[in-house]
């Protein structure tokens, strides 16, 4: 990353996350949009305290940073396009009354994942702000998959760069809801699997591990070896040294880079009405391996 950053930012953890001081007006007006994009790429997670954006402000901030996702992109076997929310703002809640289309899929958020591993080009980033918090639990954790790749021994890096991994929605959701109905499982299974390289060569020249609980198996590898490798890599990438755990306050705005990080929510009281508002930025580059 070239250029000197003029934003005031301090580290949230050594390898993940920065706390950024900026006014709401500057955020909404895009005064530092270029620097914010660069910092998001470097630090994976950005926290802006005391912003408390209304939905229209959240959309406006998102639009200063990228291509705000509007409408749905998911299609199951029934061909239904799920509504991602009103004009780009998705209500993240486990309550089906709050979010009739999505609530049943959000149970998977409890496990380490990347968003959109059923899409050709996964989302670039998420903007997330609390509407209602649970009194207990509900912290969100982020793991830096650039750093996790960088720290691997050289021979493993070279070997992993040759591997492709198949991602499936049922692999991501079943472990989070083992008591699912047969119908639910069938809906998850109706999303087409997607194969990605295990190591993403970003246009920036950086490399990250493409990991998520949706990672079902490594292609052309014995299932036992594939299972063990994926488990080992998720454990490696989610060690404390790569992780930032965010304890939410009302007013927070957090952005995360979906292309170089995994995230998960810690358990919370289902009756609490925990609700967040989220804007998603569409992805800008497909996951590609070394040329």
The distance of closest approach from Cβ of residue 256 to ligand SIN in the complex, given in angstroms and rounded to an integer, is 9
- Which stretches within the chain are classed as H helix? 24-29, 33-43, 55-65, 145-150, 154-160, 169-173, 182-189, 223-237
The distance of closest approach from Cβ of residue 265 to ligand SIN in the complex, given in angstroms and rounded to an integer, is 3
Binding site for ligand SIN (CB under 6 A): 92, 109, 140, 263, 265, 276
Q: Is 6 helix (H, G, I), strand (E, B) or coil?
A: coil
Judged by CB, which is closer to ligand SIN: 55, or 151? 55
The distance of closest approach from Cβ of residue 231 to ligand SIN in the complex, given in angstroms and rounded to an integer, is 20
The distance of closest approach from Cβ of residue 153 to ligand SIN in the complex, given in angstroms and rounded to an integer, is 30
Q: How many CB atoms lie within 10 A of CB 96?
A: 11
Question: C-alpha distances in angstroms, 278 versus 145, 234, 254?
Answer: 22, 25, 10
User: Rounded to whole angstroms, how far apart are CA atoms 256 and 115?
Assistant: 11
Judged by CB, which is closer to ligand SIN: 140, or 208? 140
Determine contact, residues 276/130, Cβ cutoff 8 Å: yes
Judged by CB, which is closer to ligand SIN: 111, or 180? 111
Judged by CB, which is closer to ligand SIN: 99, or 140? 140
User: Rounded to whole angstroms, how far apart are CA atoms 36 and 64?
Assistant: 10
Judged by CB, which is closer to ligand SIN: 13, or 109? 109
| Packed helices 55-65 and 33-43: angle between N→C axes, nearest 10 degrees | 80
The distance of closest approach from Cβ of residue 291 to ligand SIN in the complex, given in angstroms and rounded to an integer, is 32
């Amino acid at each position: 990353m070239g250029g000197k950053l003029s934003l005031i930012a301090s580290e949230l953890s050594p390898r993940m996350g920065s706390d950024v001081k900026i006014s709401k007006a500057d955020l909404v007006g895009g005064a530092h949009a270029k620097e914010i994009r660069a910092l998001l790429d470097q630090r994976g997670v950005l926290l802006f305290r005391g912003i408390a954006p209304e939905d229209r402000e959240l959309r406006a901030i998102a639009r200063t940073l990228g291509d705000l996702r509007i409408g749905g992109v998911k299609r199951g076997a029934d061909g239904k396009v799920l509504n991602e929310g009103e004009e780009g703002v998705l209500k993240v809640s486990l309550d089906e009354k709050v979010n009739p289309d999505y609530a049943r899929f959000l149970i998977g958020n409890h496990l380490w994942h990347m968003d959109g591993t059923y899409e050709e080009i996964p989302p670039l980033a998420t903007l997330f702000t609390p509407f209602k918090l649970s009194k207990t639990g509900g912290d969100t954790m982020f793991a830096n998959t650039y750093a996790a790749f960088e720290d691997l021994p050289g021979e493993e890096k070279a070997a992993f760069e040759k591997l492709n991994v198949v991602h499936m929605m049922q692999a991501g959701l079943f472990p989070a809801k083992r008591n699912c109905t047969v119908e639910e499982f069938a809906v998850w299974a109706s999303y087409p699997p997607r194969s990605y390289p295990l190591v993403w060569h970003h246009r920036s020249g950086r490399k990250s591990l493409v990991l998520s609980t949706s990672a079902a198996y490594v292609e052309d590898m014995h299932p036992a070896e594939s299972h063990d490798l994926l488990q080992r890599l998720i454990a490696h990438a989610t060690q404390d040294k790569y992780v930032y755990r965010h304890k939410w306050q009302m007013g927070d705005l957090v952005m995360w880079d979906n292309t170089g990080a995994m995230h998960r929510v810690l358990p919370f009281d289902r009756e609490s009405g925990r609700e967040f508002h989220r804007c998603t930025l569409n992805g800008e580059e497909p996951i590609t391996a070394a040329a």
